[in-house]
Structure formats: structure tokens, C-alpha cells
């Protein structure tokens, strides 16, 4: 089985985004424009809208229009938009524009464009695509791009469906004209997603620093709640940027929600707070996408989880000395992006090794050569073992050192039944000899566990060389 999700991402150490001017944080504000694109009988839908409104717990009304729901959305277009438009003057903003909503709101579109907002597409209609057939969603994306282009005068460069299906990201990649996709909440930095062998930049969005939580049962209750959350998010990310790990902060707004006066004040207070700091880059999502593509272009790399079985075993079958069954079982089990890193693959191979039978694990131990033994002298070691022993100076011994290694090897095997194993790259000749002397006297049960741990350590070091 191949696991599709990437639970590793950038890991513990994030890349330096090198934001313009050495900024410590990139702040990105989205205004979702959905008013006129929501579910409505008048829009040809089967029921009224029930999502992201002041009516907590709203349900669709099949076959009926919902006056209160429609007027809430109307408020966003008639009043809320203009308040946000005034508040955000001079700030780069991205509009997630539902194409049919943009078509029904020409004055608002003209105001956005005059202000220099980036016009990304938010799909054709503000509907839930989870049960929509793939081919229908594909048609809707194409129609959204065509309508957006006709309304705005140029095609959208960014795409955020929002109420997605499991096909949305793939379809966004396949459309071929988007510089970024935003249907991900998986990170605080852009990242490259590969679909059918082609890279697609993802610029993650947010569900937490988002006024949608005013419409949920456990979300924001007041503008102060919203401001506090935005301020704390900013302060944490800013501090991380000062410490050398800058990120981006996304903020999601909706005209009918944050456009209300009691909430809009939170936006004003947040902007005042952010502007009081040096090194803050306010940017559109397209600004961020283009910056990332320049500074961090996609770099193809070996992805073990995507190799075929023969190639995988050929490449990694010798990581556990003369024991290709470890690699075979790894490939046959669940693999995904988490196993495309040295640490991830090492841990999975160690897991498979530990789950092997007692006889199989003993066989792996016995497959290891003696250190500075007869195989080394005859130059019959594997390439990895030869390099490792040479790195510790075991290929250049004095006669006295060779005698000492031979004597200790024989004593160790006689006592424990398998060769002495140690990750030689962690040691030098003197340290290895000292360990041999100490460990020869160990209880065999204890020494077996030590040897198995060293086998896993050797594999980890080998994989680090192979995949870094």
C-alpha cells in the first residue's frame, strides 16, 4: 500500500524563506468573495445555503429559498465588503473570488482591481464538492477559469476551491495554469506537491486565523477574541522569525462575517499591531508563490516510496548486510512520503528488522563480517563495509593491532555465536578495541540486544549517505 499523505513536511528545521528585505514574517490576508455564488434555488441549486452565516446550525431548505440566509450574504456584498475594502487600503490582498459571485458584483470587482488585489479563483460556485463526480468538478473548474477571465480581464493564477473533494488538488494540478494551489492547511510555508510527475506549488491557507470561527459553536464570540487570536499568532510567528525560522501567517476573512462593525475593529487593531513591528512583509498569495518559486525552485529527489520493487530492493537491499528480505518487506508494507527521508526509511527498516523472527535477526547478525578479519584482508567485503572499516582506519593496522583484532574476534564469536558489530563511523580504532574487550564479557542476551541496536545504527548511517 502507498500512503498518500505527507506527515513529515519540512520536519524540525524549516527552510529559510528569505523573505524580501529579510522580513521576519510574511502576513497574507485573504478576502473570500462568495456573495452571489452560494447555494440558492435562484442560482439553480437544490436547496438554500447553510454554511458560514450568522445562523448557527443552519440546515439547507430543499426546494425553498431562505430569506434570512440570502440577506446575510447580501449584507456581505452591500456593506461588509466596503468596510473591509476601506480597512485594507494600501495592503496587498488576495481575493478568493467565486466566479459566479464576481459576475454578479461588478462594482466590487472594479474596486478590488483598482486597489491592486490579486484575484484568485474560488471555484465556479460556493458549494460542497465532496460528492460531486470528478468529471463534473473538472468541468466546473474550467468554467470558473473561463468566467473569471471574462469578468476580470485575465485568468486567475491561484486556485482555492474551499469545500473540496478528494479530487480537487489533482484537478487543480491538471488544469495546468495555476502558479499555486491553496487547498491545503498542512504548513506555514509553501511547499511543492508532485502530481503525475509534475511539481505544483502549494501555498497553505488557514482555518484557525479565520473569521469563519464566528459561525461555529466553539469559535470566536467577540471581535476581542478574534484580535487576541490574531495577535498571539503573529507574536509567536514573529518571534520564530527573529530566532531564524520565518514563516507566513494567513488570515481568512469573509465580507458577511468580518465585515460586521463589531468584528472589523479586530482587523484594524491587528493591522496596527503588525505595523508596529519591523520586518513585516504584507504580501498577496501570488507574491509569496512567485517569491518561493524563485528562491526555492522544485528540486527532484529520490523518493523510495515511489520506486518499483526491483529498483527499491536493488538500491536498499544491502543496507542490512546481505539481508535483502528487510528491504523486500519494507516495500511490501505501507509506504509513503514519510519514508522518503533518511530517518523515516531507517525507522521503518528497523521496525521490520525488529519484527523478524529470532532466527532471521540472528542471520542478519551473522551476515556481518569480522572487523579487520579475513574477508577484509581478502578484499571481499561489501562496498559499504569496506568503506566503513577504512574510514575507521581498520584497513591500515599494525601487526600487533591485527593480532589483537583477530584474537578478540575469535573470543567474541566463541562466546556469543555471532560477529562483533559496532557502527565503526561512531568510533576510532582505540574505541573499537576497547568496546570489543568490554562487550566480549557481556551476557549473551544483553550483547544480542546491543548488536541488534548497532545493526540498526549502521543502517541509519548508510541511509543518510544514500538519501541526503
Just list the catalytic residues. Answer: 368
> Can you tell me the distance from the alpha carbon of 399 to that of 403, in angstroms, rounded to the nearest whole number?
6
C-alpha grid cell for residue 465? 549517505
C-alpha grid cell for residue 29? 490576508
> Can you tell me the distance from the alpha carbon of 135 to that of 468, in angstroms, rounded to the nearest whole number?
40
Nearest Cα neighbor of 322 from 381, 262, 276 is 381
Residue pair 389/372 in contact by the 8 Å Cβ criterion: yes
Give the CB-side neighbour count of residue 66, counting CA atoms within 13 A.
23
Residue 14 CA: distances (Å) to CA of 11, 81, 185, 241, 281: 7, 36, 16, 11, 18
Give the CB-side neighbour count of residue 165, counting CA atoms within 13 A.
20
- B/e letters for 340-372, b = 16+ CB within 10 Å, e = fewer, are bbbbbbbbbbbebbeebeeeebbebbeebbbbb
The total of other beta-carbon atoms located within 10 Å of residue 2's CB is: 10
Amino acid at each position: 500500500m502507498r500512503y498518500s499523505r505527507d506527515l513529515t513536511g519540512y520536519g524540525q528545521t524549516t527552510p529559510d524563506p528569505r523573505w524580501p528585505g529579510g522580513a521576519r514574517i510574511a502576513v497574507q490576508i485573504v478576502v473570500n468573495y462568495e456573495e452571489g455564488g452560494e447555494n440558492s434555488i435562484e442560482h439553480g441549486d437544490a436547496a438554500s445555503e447553510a454554511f458560514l452565516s450568522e445562523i448557527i446550525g443552519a440546515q439547507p431548505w430543499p426546494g425553498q429559498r431562505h430569506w434570512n440566509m440570502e440577506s446575510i450574504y447580501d449584507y456581505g456584498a452591500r456593506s461588509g465588503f466596503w468596510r473591509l475594502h476601506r480597512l485594507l487600503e494600501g495592503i496587498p490582498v488576495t481575493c478568493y473570488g467565486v466566479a459566479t459571485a464576481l459576475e454578479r458584483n461588478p462594482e466590487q470587482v472594479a474596486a478590488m482591481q483598482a486597489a491592486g488585489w490579486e484575484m484568485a479563483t474560488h471555484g465556479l460556485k460556493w458549494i460542497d464538492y465532496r460528492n460531486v463526480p470528478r468529471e463534473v468538478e473538472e468541468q466546473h473548474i474550467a468554467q470558473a477559469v473561463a468566467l473569471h477571465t471574462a469578468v476580470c480581464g485575465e485568468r486567475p493564477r491561484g486556485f482555492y476551491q474551499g469545500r473540496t473533494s478528494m479530487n480537487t488538488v489533482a484537478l487543480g494540478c491538471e488544469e495546468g495554469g495555476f502558479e499555486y494551489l491553496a487547498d491545503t492547511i498542512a504548513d506555514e510555508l509553501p511547499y511543492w506537491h508532485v502530481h503525475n510527475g509534475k511539481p505544483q506549488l502549494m501555498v497553505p491557507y488557514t482555518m484557525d486565523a479565520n473569521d469563519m470561527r464566528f459561525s461555529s459553536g466553539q469559535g470566536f464570540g467577540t471581535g476581542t477574541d478574534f484580535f487576541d487570536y490574531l495577535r498571539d499568532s503573529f507574536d509567536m510567528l514573529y518571534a520564530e522569525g527573529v530566532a531564524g525560522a520565518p514563516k507566513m501567517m494567513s488570515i481568512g476573512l469573509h465580507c458577511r462575517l468580518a465585515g460586521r462593525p463589531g468584528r472589523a475593529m479586530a482587523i484594524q487593531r491587528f493591522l496596527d499591531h503588525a505595523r508596529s513591528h519591523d520586518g513585516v512583509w504584507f504580501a498577496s498569495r501570488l507574491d509569496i508563490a512567485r517569491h518561493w518559486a524563485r528562491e526555492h525552485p522544485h528540486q527532484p529527489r529520490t523518493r523510495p516510496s515511489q520506486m518499483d520493487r526491483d529498483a527499491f530492493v536493488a538500491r536498499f537491499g544491502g543496507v542490512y548486510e546481505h539481508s535483502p528480505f528487510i528491504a523486500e518487506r519494507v516495500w511490501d508494507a505501507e509506504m509513503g512520503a514519510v519514508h522518503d527521508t533518511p530517518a523515516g526509511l531507517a525507522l521503518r527498516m528497523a521496525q521490520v528488522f525488529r519484527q523478524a523472527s529470532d532466527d532471521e535477526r540472528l542471520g542478519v547478525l551473522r551476515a556481518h563480517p569480522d572487523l579487520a578479519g579475513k574477508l577484509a584482508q581478502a578484499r571481499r567485503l561489501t562496498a559499504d563495509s569496506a568503506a566503513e572499516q577504512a574510514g575507521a582506519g581498520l584497513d591500515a593496522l599494525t601487526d600487533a593491532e591485527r593480532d589483537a583484532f583477530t584474537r578478540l574476534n575469535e573470543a567474541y564469536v566463541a562466546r556469543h555465536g555471532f560477529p562483533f558489530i559496532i557502527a565503526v563511523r561512531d568510533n576510532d580504532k582505540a574505541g573499537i578495541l576497547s568496546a570489543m574487550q568490554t562487550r566480549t564479557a557481556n551476557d549473551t542476551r544483553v550483547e544480542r540486544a546491543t548488536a541488534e541496536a548497532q545493526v540498526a545504527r549502521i543502517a541509519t548511517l548508510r541511509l543518510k549517505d544514500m538519501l541526503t
